[in-house]
Structure 1
């Protein structure tokens, strides 16, 4: 049964008038009459009683009308769902954050995409850069926020999104805590609390080489995330260098934060994905992130 022809029938059944139905359908009246006759032949049933008084549904026509209306609505619903999926409006998108960068722009990007795609299911996890890369490769995640530069990731695509400032976290009783800003050289010879290099080798090497140069620091403790890094600093184990926004949010009592003298120390971040797997919803999220990156932030005047 032709669905377009069935739609013609429903309109005629609602109007019970060939001319008005043809006008609603934007077709010629003879063409509508022909389509109804074809439908009646297909069903081997008379659907309308035609008389000088007008048009009326037969018993067969009433049954077809009762069945056709919900059927056509369901078909339209299916078509809309398929179109939405093809346009990246629905489906499941799995995003993983990195522990050193769960706030700020990454959070705003995911939140904004959720609001603009209410029909999509957005599943969010948090790990670290190396784990995020592994999740992309194993298809456990569709997109991952990562610290840059990435090491050994030529099979992935990366969209640079920006950078964040890094600061030094010090025990409040540390001699350097009396200074307003620090130089990189101030931290040399000081015990350091750090995250494991294998969590983000490129990011780790960048911070180490920028702050300590060719002489690596003495690492007194290794902690897995900003919360534990700051707790170790508060306990007097050493100092650490980490993202300023995360440090301000998580800073416990007994820890002070000091910025580096200009030029400030910053580290880049971006969004990574596997170019071999780009479903429509991920493509829509990538477009969303590109647009956000290319749009300058609003400033109060």
Structure 2
């Protein structure tokens, strides 16, 4: 079984769209389809139900999804381990982070770490939570900064750090762009660009809940996979988006970020950020990183 076939299977399973999956893997759709067919032949079962409009996992596809994810993560871990050994005899602390944490938390944390522990070398991997957690379990990551899932794997320890503040991304020439803050009622009728719930459930649900709490229904105009894509769509005037404040560090022309006001400053207006690591493991470099984070948590949280 070829690891690339499993990667193709996972990308289609995550996007449920052969065209988007092929683009993400930088493959031709025909090549992607061939990889899936070879894998299905190897396993002697169909993995996807395909029509002209929809793609869905079969029962067999859903059953092997997490196992396939773990196999790919383990293969990547072995590859990274060998490359790391070739490169240097010094252990490298492998840190995973979701996009907003990679943009906001990590630059600050690494700056503090260089002062407190200059001997520690860090390798950063930016991915979604659904990809980071299997990599923790496979050993290819030492620690991850992510959104804790609703159902937590007992093999992983989660430490809540703080809540990221939500802001509204809107075109610079929008009538609300000069406001000091914006309420949900102000954007009640605005078309919205939201993350795909399969890959970013916390960010997607945040928008929906904010509108429901205000007695309104979110008017979803477009769904996008990545924060960069969402912000670029905002720049084109396709709609507005509710995103973590650290997303403002993504440099996109013609986009303004305005704080979102909430009744009583409810935590629903924020997104939880947690540190996660494999339960029962010992790692002095990871502990040093967590100590540095704890020492400087207030300063980092104030910017979130």
Provide the TM-score with structure 2 as the length reference: 0.59
Over residues 193-240 of structure 1, what are the superposed CA-to-partner deviations in whole Å (9 max), with x where a residue is unaligned?
A: 122222332343234212444765232222233222111011111110
Contact 2:202 2:271 in 1 (8 A): no
- CA distance in structure 1 between the aligned counterparts of 2:104 and 2:125, rounded to whole angstroms: 16
How far 1:296 sits from its partner (Å)? Answer: 6.6
Matches for 1:1-301 after TM superposition, within 5 Å: 91-147=91-147, 149-155=148-154, 156-177=156-177, 179-213=179-213, 217-247=218-248, 249-262=249-262, 263=264, 265-293=269-297
CA distance in 2, matches of 1:252, 1:199: 23
CA distance in 1, matches of 2:131, 2:194: 18
Q: Distance in 1 between matches of 2:202 and 2:240?
A: 21
User: Closer, same or farther in 2 for the Cα pair 1:140/1:237, shift >3 Å?
Assistant: same
CA deviations over 1:173-197 (Å, ceiling 9, x no partner): 4444464422112223321112222
Q: Which moved more, 1:211-220 or 1:163-172?
A: 211-220
Q: How many residues align?
A: 206
Distance 2:217 2:131 in 1: 25
Contact 1:162 1:268 (C-alpha < 8 Å) held by counterparts: yes
Any idea what SS the aligned residue of 1:199 has? coil
CA distance in 2, matches of 1:203, 1:274: 24
Alignment partner of 2:237: what SS? coil
If you compute each CA radius of gyration, which structure gives the higher value, 1 or 2?
Answer: 1
- SS of equivalent residue, structure 2 residue 233: helix
**1:259 offset after TM fit, Å?**
1.7
Question: Unaligned regions of 5+ residues in structure 1, if any?
Answer: 1-89
Q: Secondary structure at the match of 1:237?
A: coil
Distance 1:191 1:174, change over 3 A: same
Instruction: Give the distance between the partners of 1:136 and 1:240, measured in 2 at CA.
Output: 31
Q: Which residue of 2 aligns with 1:18?
A: none
SS in 2 for 1:94: strand
User: Which string of whole-angstrom CA distances, capped at 9 and with x for unpartnered residues, describes residues 128-147 of structure 1?
Assistant: 22222222122221111113
CA contact (8 A) 1:172 1:256 kept: yes
Tell whether the 8 Å contact from 2:157 to 2:277 is kept in structure 1 after alignment: yes
Inter-partner Cα distance in structure 2 for 1:172 and 1:118: 41
CA RMSD in angstroms comes to 2.8
Cα distance in structure 1, aligned partners of 2:95 and 2:193: 29
Q: Return the alpha-carbon distance in structure 2 between the equivalents of residues 133 and 260 of structure 1.
A: 30
CA–CA distance in structure 1, aligned partners of residues 131 and 112 of structure 2: 25
Partner-residue secondary structure (3-state), 1:231: helix
Instruction: Give the TM-score, by structure 1 length.
Output: 0.59
